[in-house]
Structure 1
C-alpha cells in the first residue's frame, strides 16, 4: 500500500524524506517553494542528489510536487498566463532534477472566459510547457467554487482531450465531494468511480489526495478533515481505501493538524481501514 502525506522541505528538500518516514508514509508530496508567492525552486546539486538517494533507499514512492496556488492555467489574462507557464516550467525542471515523477496542478479559474474558453486556455498553457522525460503533469480535481474549473470530471477529460501533452489526473476526495460527487456511502463511491472511469478513464488516475471533508456534499467548500471524521465519514473512506480499482493508486494525505491528531494519526487510520477490509 502506497500512502503518505504532504510534508515540509524546511531546511532543505532532502529533509522531506525523513519527515515522510516520521509520519509513517512511503510516498508523498511537497512544495518546492512557498505556494503563496511567485518564486522558482532553488535546489542545489548536492541537495537534489541526497533527496534522490534517500528516496530510492527508504521510500516506495512516488513523490508529487504540488504547483503554486497562484498558477491559473484557465486565465484569459496574458500576464497571469505567462507567470503560470513560467512557474509550471520551473516545477517540471525541478522534478527532473529530483527524480520526482509527478507535478500536480489545479486548472484554475476562467474569470469570465467561460467554461469552454477556460478549458481551452488551460490546454494551450499546458502545451506551451517543455515536459521532461519521466515527468508527468497531473490535473487535480477541484471543489468547483466560483469560476474555478475542474470540479466536474468532464472538465478534466476535456483538458486531456484538448492538450497535446501526455497528462494524467489526481482526484482529491474532499474536492470531489464538495463538488457534488457522492463519496459518503459504499454505493455512492461505486457510482462515482464508475462515472470517473466512463468520463476520464481509471487508467488516467495516477494519484489520490485522500482527505475527508468538513462540509457537506455539493457545497463547493474546500476544507479538509481527518480521515473518517468528516462528512465523507468511515463508510465512504473505508470503501475508497479498499476499492478494487483504487487499491494500487498512491494515496497522499493533506489532512489537518488539529485535535491532537497529525499526519501520523491519519496515515495509521488509513492502514487500519485497509487491514480491516
Structure 2
C-alpha cells in the first residue's frame, strides 16, 4: 500500500524523507516553500541530490508537491493570473529538479467569471506552463464553497477536456464529502467512484488525499479529522482504501495532529482498515 503524509522540508528538503520514515510512510507530499506567501522554491543542487538519493535508497515515493494556497487558476484578474502561472511554473521546475512526479493544485475561485469562464481560465493558464518531462500536474477536488471550482466532478472533467496538457486528478476524500459525495458507507463509496469514472475517468486518478471530515456531507466545510473518527467514519474510509481501482494509487494524509495522535497513527490506521 502506498501511504504517507504531508511532511516538512524545514532544515532541507531531504529531511522530509526521514520524517516520512518516522511515520512508517512510503510516499508523501511537501510544500516547496511557505504556501501562504508568494515565494520561489529555494532548493540548491546538493539538497536536491540528497532528497533524490535518500528517496531512492529508502524506497519512498511517489512524492507530490502541493502548490501555494495563493494560486488561483480560475481568476479573471490578469495580475493574479500571471502570478499563479509563474508560481506553478516554478513548482513544476522544482519537481523536475527533485525527481518528483506530481504537482498538485486547486483550481481556485472564479470570483464572478462564472463556472464556464472559470474553467476556461484554469485550462488556458495551465496551457501556458512548460511542464518538464516526467512531471504531471494534478487537479485537486475541492470542498466547493463560494465561487471555488473543483467541488463537482464535472469541473475536474471540464478542465481536463479543455486543456492541451496531460493533466490528472487528486481526489481529496474530505473535500469530496464536503462537496456532497457521500463516502460514509461502502455503497456510497462504490457509487461515488462509479460516478467519478463516468464523468472524469478513473484512469486519471493518480493520488488520493486520505482525510476524514469533521463536518457532515454537503456542508462545504473543509476541516479534516483522524481516519474513521469523523463523519466519513470507519466504514467509509475502509471502503475507500480497499477499493479495487485504488489498489496502486498513493494515499497522502493531511490529517490533524491532536488528541495525542498524528500522522503515524493515521498511517497505521489506514493499513489496518485495508487489511480487514
State the 1:54 CA deviation.
0.4
In 1, the alpha carbon distance for the partners of 2:253 and 2:106 equals: 17
Residue in 2 aligned with 1:6? 6
State the 1:246 CA deviation.
1.2
Q: 1:2–1:60: 8 Å Cα contact kept in structure 2?
A: no
Residue in 2 aligned with 1:157? 157
Residue in 1 aligned with 2:59? 59
Residue in 1 aligned with 2:234? 234
Q: 2:123–2:159: 8 Å Cα contact kept in structure 1?
A: yes
Give the unaligned 5+ runs of structure 1: none
Give the unaligned 5+ runs of structure 2: none
Number of equivalences:
276
Off by >2 Å, runs of 4+ in structure 1 = none
Residue in 1 aligned with 2:184? 184
In 2, the alpha carbon distance for the partners of 1:166 and 1:114 equals: 24
In 2, the alpha carbon distance for the partners of 1:193 and 1:246 equals: 10
State the 1:59 CA deviation.
2.4
In 2, the alpha carbon distance for the partners of 1:126 and 1:67 equals: 13
Residue in 1 aligned with 2:74? 74
State the 1:60 CA deviation.
3.8
Q: 2:25–2:60: 8 Å Cα contact kept in structure 1?
A: no
In 1, the alpha carbon distance for the partners of 2:191 and 2:242 equals: 15
> Aligned-residue CA RMSD in angstroms?
0.5
Alignment of 1:137-216 (within 5 A): 137-216=137-216
The two structures have a TM-score, normalised by structure 1, of: 0.99
Q: 1:7–1:16: 8 Å Cα contact kept in structure 2?
A: yes
Q: 2:106–2:140: 8 Å Cα contact kept in structure 1?
A: yes
Residue in 2 aligned with 1:272? 272
Alignment of 1:102-117 (within 5 A): 102-117=102-117
Residue in 2 aligned with 1:218? 218
The two structures have a TM-score, normalised by structure 2, of: 0.99
Residue in 2 aligned with 1:30? 30
SS of corresponding position for 2:34:
coil
